[in-house]
Amino acid sequence: MAQIEPSDKGGKKKKGAQKKMQIHVDFTPMVDMNMLLITFFMLCTTMIKSQTLQIVLPTNEEVKQEQQAQAKASEAITIILDTEYGDNGKPLVDAETGKTVHHIYYYEGVADTTFQTTNFLREQQFIGNVNRQAQGIRAILREKNKAVMEQYEILKQQWRNKEITKEQFDELAKQNSNDSTKTRPVVVIKPGPNCTYEGLICALDEMQINQISRYSIELPTHTDTLLLQEFERRNGRTIIRPTVR
């Protein structure tokens, strides 16, 4: 490992003169060991930290009907979430995109129990953005929350142009989404019996993306089932699948 070599500078050596020694230390084992340690640390560490999504649920205590804040029918939009399952009992994954297939059925206003309106319940999907344009359910929610989103885009532009700081932007965006003078929708998210956790998170994400400050998570009611059945009848498709679990 460490060698001491006599220096071999040519020429004759004087008798009695001390030999000059060169010291070579071989660092190869040291490097080997370091590499091993690096590998260990690289495998054991998490570089990516998880994110969190904050959520506030109402209390479970029974609230009297009169005390409940009733949303205006024109502002309400209800979305029913459903996830398709494959034959193996696992959520179905789209072969093309590699993503789980979620279906969204939504209606605006109060549920139409007379089933007279055509296309009362409509179907959508989580598509995200295509060429920076909102698609699918996002486009519908954005349209509903237009007043807030217009101001939000202006704020975003100001932030991009460095006219306001990130903190100011956050504060103003929050004020904007809670601005009661604007027409804002109230979204009721109803995860169906087959909906996965991912479906719910996607729906909550849409709320955040579209700056919707008023939303709630509820379980589907009997009326919702009837609406889905009506949808099946009109479109000649089976959309209510047996509950997987």
Partner 1 sequence: MGKVKIKRKSTLIDMTAMSDVTVLLLTFFMLTSTFLQKEPTIVYTPSSVSEEKVPTNNLVTILISSSDKSGKLENAASVEGKLFISFTGDADSTFSSEKIRGMMLEEAVSIYNDQHKNAPVRLTNQQVAEFTKINMFGVPFSVLPEYLSMSITDRDKFQGDLTQPKVGIPIDGNKNREGRLNEFQIWLKAIYNVAQRINNEQCEGLDAEQRARVQNLYGALMRQGKGIAVKADKDTPFTVVELVFDNLQTMKLNKFSLMTALKSEDEPTQ
Contacting positions for partner 1 (CB under 8 A): 24-28, 30-31, 34-35, 37-38, 41-42, 44-60, 81, 89-91, 99-100, 102, 125-130, 132, 136, 191, 193-202, 204-205, 208-209, 219, 244-245
Give buried/exposed letters for 70-106 (b at 16+ CB in 10 A, else e): ebeeebbbbbbbbbbbeeeeebeeeeeeeebbbbbbb
Q: How far is the CB of 177 from partner 1 (least distance, A)?
A: 15
Q: How far is the CB of 243 from partner 1 (least distance, A)?
A: 9
Burial class (CB in 10 A: 0-12, 13-18, 19+), 209: middle
**What distance in Å separates the CA atoms of residue 81 and residue 74, rounded to the nearest whole number?**
21
Q: How far is the CB of 97 from partner 1 (least distance, A)?
A: 8
Q: How far is the CB of 5 from partner 1 (least distance, A)?
A: 9
For residue 188, give the amino acid letter. Answer: V
**Among residues 198 and 230, whose Cβ is nearest to partner 1?**
198
**Among residues 38 and 73, whose Cβ is nearest to partner 1?**
38
**Among residues 154 and 244, whose Cβ is nearest to partner 1?**
244
**Among residues 50 and 119, whose Cβ is nearest to partner 1?**
50
**Among residues 42 and 69, whose Cβ is nearest to partner 1?**
42
**What distance in Å separates the CA atoms of residue 153 and residue 145, rounded to the nearest whole number?**
12
Q: How far is the CB of 67 from partner 1 (least distance, A)?
A: 17
Q: What pairing do the DSSP bridges indicate for beta strands 76-83 and 186-191?
A: parallel
62 Cα distance to chain centroid:
31
